[in-house]
Amino acid sequence: MIPENLPKGAVAQRGGTLYSVRPRTPLGEISAEQLNVINSVVQDFNLPGVRVTAAQRLSIRGIPGEKVAEVIERLGPVGELCHYYVQACLGTTGCRLAMQDSIGLGARLEEFLNEFELPAKLKCGVSGCSMCCSESYVRDVGLVGTAKGWTVVFGGNAGKGVRKGDIIAENVSDDKALEVIGKALAFYRDNAKKKERTARFVARVGIEAVLKAL
Amino acid sequence: MSDKDSPTGAILQRDKKTYAIVPRTPVGVVTPDVLEALARVGRKFEIPIMKITSGQRIALVGLEKEQVDQVWEDLKMDIGPAVGLCVHYVQACPGTEVCKFGLRDSLGLGLELEKMFVGKELPAKMKVGVSGCTMCCAESYVRDVGLIGKKKGWTMVVGGNASGRPRIADVLAENLTRGEAIELVGRFMDYYRDNSNKRSRSSLFVKRVGIDAVKAAIL
């Protein structure tokens, strides 16, 4: 049964009778409490389990249409508050190798991005060191922590239009990094075609044009 | 990077006191039993940070040294390699199992590769991504070994990397059946093992020898 008003955040699976939802887990962080809620929902509704996605989220699948609203109500916020996603590694919160606080800046970036209406989806990766566990070079916006601050990367993609991002700033502070990202995104917003991801956009206009706008 | 005193499957954290562990969740699939175990352990040991990783796993962070063995015992799960020189994980998108766009069974092939190859010793760590269509949700072009489902079969790419020294993988072969793909993944891993320098990731290796040499050797 297809629910008449499919709740926001529910995604139809193949076949069209079952749905999946993704609880909000900003920056991939999930509390034991949240995991318990998800666990009890999976058990109570007899669902097939969850899948960990490459975007640091948990996808709860196999939900019958008529149960979707009830499941979402039990889970709390699903989908993204920020319509652009930001992933981060553990950074100085725990990792021995970290140079910068990736979770801290990742959270600020999420908030910052809410101010933008962009032509296409945007994926961001904030890595606390050059190991790049958040795969910053293949994200639309990537940040890499170094001893001297942040390296800012723009126009990367790990999907269909795979592209290595270009460096648009180096050795910058948290504030300066957000400022540079803001300028790059404003230029992208004003000049990209509808649904054109940053990778295609940068390939089309050239990185020099982006750097000039900064 | 694990130090010699670390308990089994544990990674020492920044505070030099606590540890992180990463249970094995092949192709990101967490069954209700595993979910229950993770939730129970999180509650019981009051684990401070549970973090979903980019490798489709859930890391439990901030365990005291003496808790590590107890947690593993409670979880009854295998260790997901996170530091050794071997195949760390196989990630996969939902493919034809669940996704509307899927052209091939990426979850099925991913699971089969996971069982065969995770833990296989190699000159450096290796990551594998299996995507059911060209949208590439398992980011196959930036994995050491990537598979992409197309109408006519699987495309296999090798030598990709998504780290600080990123590299887009080269296409090794196209229109492979599932059986052919599995066999070719094995052949590539053996060739890489026998010809690469220690700690040299497949991206550096493929760049050094060139994709044509790889093709000549294993196709």
pLDDT the model gives residue B2: 46
Query: Same structural domain for residues B59 and B96?
Result: no
Which of B3, B35, B75, B83 to substitute to test the interface with A, most A CBs within 10 Å?
B35
Query: Residue B121 falls within a domain, yes or no?
Result: yes
Token couple for A126: 């904030």
Query: Same structural domain for residues B213 and B114?
Result: yes
Query: Same structural domain for residues B96 and B198?
Result: yes
Convert the pLDDT of each residue in B101-124 to its tens digit.
999 999 999 999 999 999 999 999
Residue-range definition of the domain harbouring residue B61: 10-75
Q: Could you tell me the sign of the dihedral formed by the alpha carbons of A123, A126, A132, A134, in that order?
A: negative
**Angle between helix B211-218 and helix B178-195 axes, rounded to 10 deg:** 110
Over 70: is that where the pLDDT of A4 sits? Answer: no
Query: Same structural domain for residues A65 and A114?
Result: no
Residue of B nearest to A28 (CA): B52
A20, A48, A75: which is the final residue of a domain?
A: A75
Query: Same structural domain for residues B62 and B132?
Result: no
Looking at the 3D structure of chain A, how many domains does it have? 2
Over 50: is that where the pLDDT of B1 sits? Answer: no
Tell me whether strands A10-12 and A18-21 are parallel, antiparallel or unpaired. Answer: antiparallel
pLDDT the model gives residue A153: 98
Count H helices, E strands: chain B?
Answer: 7, 10
Residues in chain B: 219
Q: How far is A146 from chain B (nearest CA, A)?
A: 11
What is the pTM (predicted TM-score) of this model? 0.92
Query: Same structural domain for residues A100 and A189?
Result: yes
Query: Same structural domain for residues B58 and B122?
Result: no
Q: Could you tell me the sign of the dihedral formed by the alpha carbons of A90, A92, A98, A102, in that order?
A: positive
CATH code of the domain covering residue A192: 3.30.413.10
Query: Same structural domain for residues B211 and B127?
Result: yes
Query: Same structural domain for residues B121 and B164?
Result: yes
Query: Same structural domain for residues A103 and A190?
Result: yes
Query: Residue B149 falls within a domain, yes or no?
Result: yes
Query: Residue A80 falls within a domain, yes or no?
Result: no
CB contact under 8 Å between A131 and B164, yes or no, is yes
Query: Same structural domain for residues A90 and A70?
Result: no
Where do we find the tokens 């010793």?
A: B121
Residue-range definition of the domain harbouring residue A157: 85-213
Query: Same structural domain for residues A14 and A109?
Result: no
Tell me whether strands B49-52 and A29-30 are parallel, antiparallel or unpaired. Answer: antiparallel
Convert the pLDDT of each residue in A128-164 to its tens digit.
999 999 999 999 999 999 999 999 999 999 999 999 9
Query: Same structural domain for residues B92 and B172?
Result: yes
What is the mean pLDDT of the segment spanning B188-215?
Answer: 97
CB contact under 8 Å between A132 and B58, yes or no, is no
CATH code of the domain covering residue B26: 3.30.70
Q: How far is B189 from chain A (nearest CA, A)?
A: 22
Convert the pLDDT of each residue in B33-66 to its tens digit.
999 999 999 999 999 999 999 889 999 999 999 9
Over 70: is that where the pLDDT of A2 sits? Answer: no
Where do we find the tokens 């993609």?
A: A157
Q: Is A73 in a helix, a strand, or coil? A: helix
A75, A101, A120: which is the final residue of a domain?
A: A75
Query: Same structural domain for residues B96 and B201?
Result: yes
Residue of B nearest to A24 (CA): B52
CB contact under 8 Å between A43 and B30, yes or no, is no
Strand partners, A50: A60, B30
Query: Same structural domain for residues A53 and A125?
Result: no
Distance CA B157, CA B149 (A): 11
Looking at the 3D structure of chain B, how many domains does it have? 2
Q: Which residue among B14, B25, B50 sits closest to A98, beta carbon to beta carbon?
A: B14
Query: Same structural domain for residues B134 and B194?
Result: yes
> Which chain B residues have a beta carbon less than 8 Å from that of A125?
54
Query: Residue A163 falls within a domain, yes or no?
Result: yes
- Residues B197, B198, B199, B202, Cα dihedral to 10°: 40
pLDDT the model gives residue B211: 98
Query: Residue A2 falls within a domain, yes or no?
Result: no
> Which chain A residues have a beta carbon less than 8 Å from that of B155?
none
Convert the pLDDT of each residue in A84-114 to its tens digit.
889 999 999 889 999 999 999 999 999 999 8
- CB-based contact B106:B93 (threshold 8 Å): yes
Query: Same structural domain for residues B196 and B133?
Result: yes
Query: Same structural domain for residues A123 and A35?
Result: no
Query: Same structural domain for residues A116 and A175?
Result: yes
